[in-house]
Structure 1
Amino acid sequence: MTSSAQSSISPRLKMLLAWVLVLAVLTGVVAWIGPDRLLAPWRLISLPALGIALILMVLSYALRALRIQRYFIHELRGQFWPTLKLSTWHILLNNFLPMRTGEISFPILMQRYFTLPASRTVPVLLWFRLLDLQAIVLLGLLAAIWGMGLPDAWAILVIILVPAPVLIFLARHRVRRVIAARPDGKWRGLLLGSVDSLPQSIAHFLATLGWTWANWLIKLLTLAWVLSHVAQLGLAAALAGAIGGDLTTVLPIHAPGGFGTFEAGVVLALQPFGLDATSALAAAVNLHLFVLGSSLLAALMVLLIKVPGQTGQEREPRQDF
């Protein structure tokens, strides 16, 4: 077998082995908890309530799509539905592929749907992820201070994180001048492209920040509501658990399907609230199944949305708010 054949087979084999291992562990966890105990909480949730939770999750997907569309306001004007399809499939692939490899789908789909090059979309994706991380960590800190009675000194982190995106936005021109003064090279061009991808007006910046926080507030409160019902938790504990699980989907450490890493994040976040290990793990598995189920449902809902074809026509330059 040639080295090129080995290199093409090896990643697929690794992925297959990873999924086999994950499914084996999941089977063991279900057997340890017990299928009846795992499914029992779902019998206590009414179908209308569960339906509202699913609708709110789909709404959070729509808010992500609006963030993308409004950021690329000129290129994606009037293209909400194709953007919703792109965003939904991006989320689905992120949920199921390991080690954040699902992120690659964003520049690929932006190129395929809207002919926007990766040099334009990858820096924006990094900016989105920084805003996402800030929102999750801030909400987690507030939940911990509120629910666990942490000392007021923890509020210093909140004070530091709140203005962080604003400082980055305000410093963009100075950072660009520093980078532009460096010798010409590949990294200089990439860094300049990243700085240039940041919002160019205060309205553009505030809109992106607003869509980010609207998305995470709706998503995390919905997940907290589900977790509170499957584990009989208070709102503060449920919010901490939801944030712990969702934080693993933003960080680089992410197992296939998120199985194992998502549950670990939820269980770890619930430790200070005195929930026993079996109940915490059962709640984490149920919450994870809800996240994956809503992601699959949303992907099926957008499946028939038509997307723009690649016309090969060059788009006009970017215009911000």
Structure 2
Amino acid sequence: MMSMIRPKTLLAILILVAFVVFVEWYFGWAPLLAPWREIPLPGVLGALVLAFLTYWLRALRVYDYYRARMRGRFPACLRLTLTHNLLNNLLPMRTGELSFPVLMARDFGVPALHSVPVLLWFRLMDLHTLALFALLALGSHLLGPAVAVPLAAAWLLTLVFAQRLAPALRDRLGAPGDDGLRGKLYRVLDALPGSAGDFWRAWAWTFANWLLKLAVFVWVLGLFLEAPLAAAWLAVIAGDLTSVLPVHGVAGAGTYEAGVVAALLPFGVSGEAALAGAVNLHLFLLGSTLLGGLLVPLLPGRRVDRQTR
């Protein structure tokens, strides 16, 4: 039976088991989870509602980009987003990302040659936005806002060049009608935003989503430990960035916490407090993910056979 499990999956399971054992040995799960009993229920519910609002913003990004195809079917788009998010957060090694092109093809008839480039572009925008917030947090802490804000503005200017890149490359290719490499490359580039309006609307949804998500997670982390504001922002960002690692535990167990702790320690937060905060923040993330997943069966989703956005 063990021989049927792929090495990376086995490693992810081993990381999960080792993490659970380590937390029990180092801290103890009971005292680690005890602070949840002290948090007022309205506060937890409010944080969960705001976390769900970030899923809604993510769905709006997809819905707006594919608005010609998805018009009038936002609930189905939200279902797709919640399913994608659930699988992405629970399955190891980012295998949950594969669900996006599969669901886009099944529910909206969008071929993988179109949806995969768009997903990669969304992820690049996510990384760019996370880098923006990290630059603001770390720059303000080390250099002060007077320096950090101009640096962040300069970072944002890179988007102007990024917006023009795909259309320029596509125009240089022309419009080949064959199915060879040149034709496939043209269709990949054609999937990316061809107008400034499409590009900047997608970026606006991305920015709004991450601003809200990071703010909520910083607040939740603050319920479990005291740390400088810059440290909390960087810790939340670091935890999220661990999802791009080539190896991590099931549901990010262990690696997510390692990212959060690594960002907190340089700011003088003790290892014990950092671990407790990281674990409880991760539990909040997984809890909101699972609650979002419970809504999936309540939302419509059906096959639509079309060819283009």
TM-score, L = length of structure 2: 0.90
Contact 2:61 2:206 in 1 (8 A): yes
- How many residue pairs match? The answer is 306
Q: Which runs of 5+ in 1 are unaligned?
A: 1-5
Match of 1:85? 79
Match of 1:195? 189
> How large is the RMSD of aligned CA atoms in angstroms?
2.5
Counterpart selection for 2:291 from 297, 304, 316: 297
Note the 1:175-186 alignment, pairs <5 A: 175-180=169-174, 186=180
1:186 Cα deviation (Å)?
4.8
Contact 2:51 2:288 in 1 (8 A): yes
Amino acid across the alignment from 2:22: G
Q: Distance in 1 between matches of 2:27 and 2:142?
A: 27
Match of 2:70? 76
Match of 1:64? 58
2:5 is aligned with 1:18: no
1:17 Cα deviation (Å)?
5.5
Counterpart selection for 1:124 from 107, 118, 122: 118
Residues 295 and 170 of structure 1: is their aligned pair in 2 closer, same or farther, counting only changes over 3 Å?
A: same
Match of 1:229? 223
Q: Distance in 2 between matches of 1:270 and 1:23?
A: 24
C-alpha distance after superposition, 1:259-315 (max 9, x if no partner) = 1211111111112210111111111111111111110011102322121235x4x45
Contact 1:41 1:231 in 2 (8 A): no
Secondary structure of the equivalent of 1:303? helix
Q: Distance in 1 between matches of 2:78 and 2:207?
A: 18
Contact 1:68 1:83 in 2 (8 A): yes
Q: Distance in 2 between matches of 1:119 and 1:83?
A: 19
Match of 1:209? 203
Counterpart selection for 2:44 from 50, 53, 60: 50
Secondary structure of the equivalent of 2:92? coil
Secondary structure of the equivalent of 2:70? coil
Match of 2:164? 170
Q: Distance in 2 between matches of 1:21 and 1:255?
A: 5
Counterpart selection for 2:134 from 137, 140, 143: 140
Residues 156 and 265 of structure 1: is their aligned pair in 2 closer, same or farther, counting only changes over 3 Å?
A: farther
Amino acid across the alignment from 1:137: A
Q: Distance in 1 between matches of 2:282 and 2:229?
A: 18
Q: Distance in 2 between matches of 1:151 and 1:224?
A: 19
Amino acid across the alignment from 1:193: R
C-alpha distance after superposition, 1:117-173 (max 9, x if no partner) = 111100100110010000111101111122344798777863553122321212333
| Segment drifting more, 217-226 vs 170-179 | 170-179
Counterpart selection for 1:267 from 255, 258, 261: 261
Q: Distance in 2 between matches of 1:253 and 1:223?
A: 24
Contact 2:139 2:147 in 1 (8 A): no
Secondary structure of the equivalent of 2:223? helix
1:65 Cα deviation (Å)?
0.3
Contact 1:89 1:299 in 2 (8 A): yes
| Segment drifting more, 160-169 vs 58-67 | 160-169
Residues 221 and 279 of structure 1: is their aligned pair in 2 closer, same or farther, counting only changes over 3 Å?
A: same
2:272 is aligned with 1:278: yes
Contact 2:63 2:70 in 1 (8 A): yes
Match of 2:90? 96
The percentage of counterpart residues that share the same residue type is: 45
2:213 is aligned with 1:245: no
1:30 Cα deviation (Å)?
3.0
Secondary structure of the equivalent of 1:231? coil
Residues 80 and 181 of structure 1: is their aligned pair in 2 closer, same or farther, counting only changes over 3 Å?
A: closer
Q: Which runs of 5+ in 2 are unaligned?
A: none
Match of 1:3? none
